[in-house]
Amino acid sequence: MRIIAFRTLRAFFEKPEYADSEAYLRAWYHDAKAAEWISSNDLKQQYKSAIIVREGRIVFNIRGNAYRLVVAIDCEFQVIFVQFIGTHKQYDKIDVKTI
């Protein structure tokens, strides 16, 4: 998978208050980049705790659910678009379907 954009993840974990997310986000990035998901079902086999909001919109729990990562995935073109990364409290304030 091609991931757009790692810089969004880096900007997040480089903030001192979120530095504890770096190893987890890098691990997710590495795994997702190597993945060849054909459908959301393929993704769920690898990430059982991932939440499929709707086809192509996925929420990942990062660092034991301390953080939430929302992505849009186009399996046909093998592209992941990072939509949101934040704390669980910040996540509760967004509309995951439209962000």
The H or E element spanning position 91 is helix 88-91
Average pLDDT in the chain: 93
What pTM did the predictor assign? 0.92
DSSP string, 34-85: H---SSHHHHHHH-TT-EEEETTEEEEEETTTTEEEEEEEETTTTEEEEEEE
DSSP string, 9-30: HHHHHTSGGGGGGHHHHHHHHH
- Cβ(82)–Cβ(62) below 8 Å: no
Average pLDDT for 85-94: 94
Domains, the chain, in order of start with CATH, read 2-91 (3.30.2310)
With cut-offs at 50, 70 and 90, classify the pLDDT of residue 25. Answer: very high
With cut-offs at 50, 70 and 90, classify the pLDDT of residue 77. Answer: very high
State pLDDT tens for residues 26-58. 999 999 999 999 988 888 898 999 999 987 899
